[in-house]
Chain A
Amino acid sequence: MSTPEPAAPDVYETSTRGPSFRQRMAPRIAQSKRTWYFLRRNGLAMAGLIILLLIAAVAIYALSTPLSYQYMTEYCATNGATCLVSPSVCTYPQGTVAPGPGCYQTPADFPSVIAPTWASLTQPGPLPLGSLSVDPPIQYFYNTYDGLLRGSDWSMLISLTIVGAGATIGLFLGAVSGYMGGVVDEGLMRLVDIFLSIPQLLFVIVVVTVLITLLPTSGTDFAAHIYLLIGGFLVTWWPFYARLVRGQVLVVREQKYVEAARASGASRGRIILRHIVPNSVYPVFIQMSLDVGTIPIIIGTIVFLGIRIFPSTYLPEWGTIAALSVFDLSAFWNSCQIAACVIPWWQLLFPGLALFLFAISVNFLADGLRDALDPRLRR
């Protein structure tokens, strides 16, 4: 006995209201399920996804807890300026200038480099990731753990804004360029050629440098600096997306459904917005996820080269913290008698690790997505 086959859902059911939302989304949902299936089988991509989710959880935690900006704590001011302390072997009596027996000493220019510790009697709070030495030397230590925690939301916010805005501009310019063709296409693509022929990192550095000089040097207008940073990145960022989308649109434009839309009298704007853009958006997502990881690195490079993006060098942002952690290390080594110095491994390791994990996890995820979405790569 055979059960009668269930009737196939009539996706193209004609009614005055048109297909329901679920019916319209059915192909998309099916594709998402397929993508998820292939993604789940890709170990690296899943590892990337898990790391990213962890970082997102940290960012949400940082946003939701009323942490004060306590990433710099007054410590050395009361305890004397030169203290590279390994608390497990070193006693550092409160209120004295000279370190106790077993303490390491940094050169006078590099105060406040403290190895990781959970808590100790002589310190005001736990330093699970140690502290940074910063340039110019300050009388406080930079609590890496608090800095990274506070920085998680800043980093996400800045990179997501830049990538989102850049992708939106590039998406529409690319779609218009690809769909219209002719003079518009030629003009826009020559413009893109020009922007792309300047090496990207160099371009960002130059634009940000010029923009920074426009601000008053004594100003502490935090928002203005952030806006300028985002603007500077956007100038150099949209051409990649424009070219990417144009290539995709040239393919999509020739599809039957676009022809059908045109035949049924849809306007140009409607075809671009409703038919072409949604169907050429996947490569943009992949590129976006790659870029989100790149932006903190570029910000770090800019800070490392000594460009004052932020009114305070000590802004808790991951790229900035990583740059701070290596900023004057060569000077440290030069002024340090090597046998007597402890190499501040925590300072090199933790901020860099945060930046590295973030960037590599989005790389893995993007690569997995590319494999899952492009059937040619799955063979």
Chain B
Amino acid sequence: MRMWTYVVRRLLLIVPIILGVMTITFVLVSALPLDERFTAYLGVPPKGQSYAPTLAPGQGVCPANATQNCSNPYYHYALNKLGLNQGVWVQWGVWMYNSLTFNWGHVGNASDVVETVYPEAKGLPVTEVLGWFLPYTLELAALSLAIIMAVGIPLGNLSAVYRNRPVDQASRVMSFSGFALPTFLLGSLVLAAVLIGLGSLNGYHSYFCSTGTTFQDFTGSWPPAYCYASPDPTNLGYPSWLTAGYISHPTGFPTIDALIHGQWSLAGDTILRMILPALIIAYGTIALLLRFVRNSMLEVMNLDFVRTARAKGVPERTVVRRHAGRNSLNVTITVLGLTFASFVGGFPVVEYLFNLRGVGQLLAYSVITPIDIGLIFGTTLLFTFLVVGANLIVDVLYAYLDPRVRLG
């Protein structure tokens, strides 16, 4: 099979997965109360109106002298709009159409998201709000992935080569403890350690912010306003080129934008603030990669061509790196896709703890009652797309590296 045929076939396999995930979200949403669904997917009703099925006399369109409750036209409009007055297949069809056209509803105006953290997001389309926060999450994901690969692959090779020796045992204990330590606990411990360390070393001044004295100085995506040389009271602590507080221009990626604007220190600060969270995310998922690299290395190390290379007198270092390492790379790449799926789950906790402006933080605040349906399901779909996309890239890469996959 040619490479592009394989890619097309792999792309076609995604279609049922996307449709299936949307169907699952449809089933879950169908379980929720009607008025919450109306608010989430049709927006807040105009002033004085409501989505209640019937109106008491004097309420909305119902005349004050009515003898009984009137039916609410808004309710019927909403029912019709979501297809809820028709069969379940029509409802499903409307849901699928809306999901596929990125019509993912609106941010509500009662949840913690708009009450405490992002008042600007109130009533806006979910896709737009997610669009503001996605770039930061992607940068965090890229940094975590880089750390995982930089540490996991050499460590896995090392523990395969020195099998059952102290190096192997130590690396396994370390990676297992990453599995066993909940992200929320590890994050809190790291924060405590940083707090104690900074507090005792230089009088609570963080290195991010030379004038800062509090906890917020080393959490958050950007330094607070008073860390700037000339604090601007109108900006809420965000770099001046961020309009409306959150929407960043021109690319949306905070580091790249800071570089474009020539603010080197800000770019450095953004990355510096990302390192601890990225380390925590990486630590939680490195065990998976480590275990697979170790096992695939162990299998490859016993194959004939490795013995041949050794017999030829190739130095052991080269055998490990060039002969065995290259051949166990295939498995490694497959596992990276899996790793991506499992570390996406760490974002809500880490972004919540470190107060980072990413999609995970949106999710963390939207699941607290009163929940924000639009954001919850929007985030679910978005993260699923990320994982499916990562798996696609991994599979194509795998097929490119190993011709047996596309030929066989």
Contact = CB atoms under 8 A, between A and B. Distances in A.
Contacts of B124: none
Interface in A298-336: 300-301, 304-308, 319, 322-323, 326, 329-330, 333-334
A305 B33 contact: no
A329 B169 contact: no
B299 A190 contact: no
Given A44-B169, A202-B380, A301 B216 contact: no
A214 B31 contact: yes
A210 B32 contact: yes
A369 interface: no
B184 A300 contact: yes
B349 A301 contact: yes
Interface string A333-362: 110001100010000100010011011100
A362 to B, nearest CB: 8
On chain A, which size bracket covers the interface? 35 or more
B367 A209 contact: yes
Interface string B195-220: 11001000010000000001110010
B353 interface: yes
A351 to B, nearest CB: 9
Interface stretch (A18-26, A117-125, A192-200): A192-200
Given A197-B384, A199-B344, A301-B183, A330 B368 contact: no
A334 B189 CA distance: 15
A228 B65 CA distance: 46
A355 B188 CA distance: 15
A372 B24 CA distance: 39
A284 B189 CA distance: 34
B348 to A, nearest CB: 6
Nearest to B23: A194
Interface of B: 16-17, 20-21, 23-24, 28-29, 31-33, 169, 172-173, 176-177, 179-185, 187-189, 191-192, 195-196, 199, 204, 214-216, 219, 295, 298-299, 302, 341-342, 344-346, 348-349, 352-353, 363-364, 367-369, 371, 376-377, 379-380, 383-384, 387-388, 391
Interface of A: 43-44, 190-191, 193-203, 205-207, 209-214, 217, 293-294, 297, 300-301, 304-308, 319, 322-323, 326, 329-330, 333-334, 338-339, 343, 348, 352, 355-356, 358-360, 363-364, 367, 376-377, 379
Given A322-B184, A322-B185, A359-B180, 7 more contacts: A195-B24, A202-B345, A213-B32, A297-B182, A304-B184, A343-B192, A343-B196
Q: List 3 A-B pairs, minimum CB-CB distance, nearest first.
A: A201-B345, A194-B20, A359-B180
